[in-house]
Structure 1
Amino acid sequence: MSADDHQESGLSKSVWSDADFEDMWWHYATVHGLHVQRTEADSPRLLLDLDYIVQWVQPLPPEKHFTFWVSPATLVFEDVQDLEGGLGFRGRSPELEIDALHRLTPDDGRQDLPHWHVEGHAFDLRFRASGFRQYFRHAPRLTSRYALPAADRGGCSFDEAAFA
């Protein structure tokens, strides 16, 4: 199945990029893994394995709870510099959920590497990167939770192949 055929979830394609930033929303996306990768060209990359909520589905009465179209995805930032951040669970279960992803205009005149801020509920990442690609690894599944069970998502993965 191609992403073009997955109209029920609203997913229009299986690879997105920073050019699609205004159309994307990472609120409550669950992060299952983070990997900093150095390439042969010595250009660091930041990879996040996450469950991306493609669409929130309003409940129809008598139902009271939302359901969600969720797809496991790999979010890859290129040319990463000045990476900093932290974790802070403080009694919460150790789940990393994104609250928002911000693209900020640099104040130092270096437009080639915008600032990015991944604002999480129990973590925070700030860095510069030239851009990103997000690969939807499987077709979205309708579920009652923000995150898919490990068996349904294929475990933790940084695969950069989108479903066909």
Structure 2
Amino acid sequence: MEKYELEKKIWTEADFKNMGWHDCRIYKIRLTDDLELDIDYILNWNKPDIEGLPFTFWVAPATLIFKKISNIQFEIDTAFDEAIDIEDIELNKSDNKFQWTIITKQGDIELEAEEFAQWIRQEPFFQFGQTISFIERCGFSLEQTIDQANPNRFRLDIVEQQKKDFEHYENVKKRQFKRKEKADLEEQRENGTIDLKDYLTKKKEIKEMLDYYDYWLKNTRFENW
């Protein structure tokens, strides 16, 4: 797996048009003169190599800060000890004021702030989902840093699980190829371009391989991929 090269590690309001927070998760909120958010920032949605498989992602723990805020309103329908998922962040400039709306799946946060900064605290993680586990990201943090220490990143059990996940993912791709092969075979049969004997032989071979992959992927995160 090639390393994801960060364009930059500190982003500001000057970068707003090039940023997006859809499906980014908020883990921690602190309200002082600023609004500080601990989030998983999705840097890239990776299109799958094989049609029909889900996207994968490059994700990094980040601290998002709106500075010197005023007129803040929370309309969040969730407990503050639960994660919040961002849909989008909108900016409206009116009467020399910067009005921000953090739209989440659980409600909105509205505020005024002249500037913001986002710190990418750690190197990005390649993820099969849109979030990083509590252990992998080394807990929650609101540090304003670009080199947050994370001793868990190279923990043996985590590295071994990542290795298993990649092995499972290879089987997912092979299974998807077999599913495509099965669909093509059925199309050949419908079009009458394959005789019954060859059709039944190939159908049996494909089923055996699909059963094999289903067996090895059962009770993994990839079972229903």
Question: Deviations along 1:19-70, whole A, 9 cap, x unmatched?
Answer: 0001100000000011012xxxxxx100000000000000111660110000
Per the alignment, in what secondary structure is the counterpart of residue 139 of structure 2?
coil
1:87 aligned residue:
76
Matching residue of 2:63: 74
Matched to 2:109, the amino acid is L
Match of 2:123 among 139, 156, 159: 139
TM-score, with structure 2 as normaliser:
0.61
2:20 corresponds to 1:31: no
Which residue of the partner structure matches residue 20 of structure 1?
A: 15
**SS in structure 2 opposite 1:25?**
coil
Checking the alignment, whether the CA contact within 8 Å between 2:23 and 2:86 is kept in structure 1 is: yes
8 Å contact kept, 1:95–1:122: no
TM-superposed CA distance for 1:153, in Å, is 1.0
The 8 Å contact of residues 38 and 63 in structure 2, kept in 1 or not, is answered as: yes
Q: Which runs of 4+ in 1 moved over 6 A?
A: none
In 2, Cα distance between the equivalents of 1:21 and 1:9? 21
Offset of 1:134 from its aligned partner? 0.2
Which residue in 1 is equivalent to 2:184? Answer: none
Residues 1:129 and 2:113 aligned together: yes
Cα deviation, 1:98-148, whole Å, max 9, x if unaligned, reads 000011122xx2x1x400000001121000001100000001110011110
Q: Could you tell me the TM-score, scaled by structure 1's length?
A: 0.83
> Root-mean-square deviation (CA), in Å?
1.9
Choose 1 or 2 for highest CA Rg.
2
Report the counterpart of residue 91 of structure 2 in structure 1.
103
Distance 1:78 1:119 in 2: 18
Aligned residues: 145
The answer to whether the 8 Å contact 2:76/2:109 transfers is no
Distance 2:112 2:144 in 1: 21
Which structure's residues are more often strand, by fraction?
A: 1
**SS class of match (1:105):** strand
Q: Percent identity?
A: 26
The equivalent position to 2:50 in structure 1, one of 34, 49, 61, is 61
Confirm or deny: 8 A CA contact 1:28 1:99 kept in the other structure.
yes
Distance 1:61 1:68 in 2: 15
Letter of the 1:102 partner, please give it: E
Among candidates 24, 46, 50, match of residue 39 of structure 2: 50
